[in-house]
Amino acid sequence: MNTNSGKNVELLAFDKGYAIVEVQATGSNGCVAKEKEMIQIPSDYNLLAVNAFNPQSQDSRNNTFMPFALTIRQTPFRLIVLDPDNGGLVYETTDANNAWDGIDRRDGKLVPGNKAYIWKVVIQHPVQGEKGEYRGTIVRM
C-alpha cells in the first residue's frame, strides 16, 4: 500500500501484462472516494535501461550507461558489464553516479563500437515482488 498526500503516486510494476490499481482518497471534510482501474503494463521492468550508448557523444544523456532506475531509486546494487566474447569483466560499480563510459577496465581503452556487451545488476534489497537480478545487453555505438 502506498500513501501519498499529493496528487502523484509512483507505482513499480515488474511484469508485463495487466494490473488492477485501486486508489482511495480522503478529502479534508472526511469524505472517502475509491476508484479501481485496470492498466496495461507494456513491457517487463528492466531497470529502465537503454540498449545503446555513445561515449563520444556530446550529449551527457547518451555518453554513458547506467540503468535509469538505479539513479532514482535508493537501493544498494552491483552493476557489471561483461565482454560477450570471453566473459571478461569490462566494468563494475555499486555507485549510480559512476556510470560506464565505455572504458574497458582490463586495458584502460575504449571498447570497440557496434558491439553488444552483457550487463547484469544485482539488487541487494529488492522490494516485495521484485526479482533480485536484472540482465540485458548494451551496444557501444
* 61 and 123 part of one domain: yes
Instruction: Please write the tens of the pLDDT for every residue from 14-32.
Output: 889 998 988 888 888 999 9
* 69 and 129 part of one domain: yes
* 38 and 61 part of one domain: no
pTM: 0.79
C-alpha cell at 108: 584502460
Confidence of residue 117 (pLDDT cuts 50, 70, 90): very high
* 37 and 101 part of one domain: no
CATH of the domain at 73: 2.60.40
Cα-based distances in Å from 39 to 20, 42, 63, 117, 127: 6, 9, 34, 33, 21
Q: Quick one: pLDDT at residue 34?
A: 93
* 68 and 122 part of one domain: yes
Q: Please determine, for residue 1, whether its predicted confidence score (pLDDT) is greater than 70.
A: no
* 112 and 73 part of one domain: yes
Best-predicted range by mean pLDDT (2-11, 33-42, 114-123): 114-123
Q: Supply the mean pLDDT for the chain.
A: 92
* 82 and 125 part of one domain: yes
Exposed / middle / buried, residue 139 (Cβ in 10 Å: 0-12, 13-18, 19+): middle
Instruction: Please write the tens of the pLDDT for every residue from 43-74.
Output: 889 999 999 999 999 999 999 999 999 999 99
* 56 and 40 part of one domain: no
* 74 and 133 part of one domain: yes
* 60 and 2 part of one domain: no
Q: Please count the structural domains in the chain.
A: 2
Q: Quick one: pLDDT at residue 77?
A: 98
**Structural domain boundaries, residue 14:** 1-44
* 35 and 96 part of one domain: no
Task: Report DSSP letters for 55-123, one per residue.
Answer: TT-S-TTTSSB--HHHHHS---EEEEEE-TTT--EEEEES-TTS-B-SB-TTTSSBPPSSEEEEEEEEE
Q: Please determine, for residue 120, whether its predicted confidence score (pLDDT) is greater than 80.
A: yes
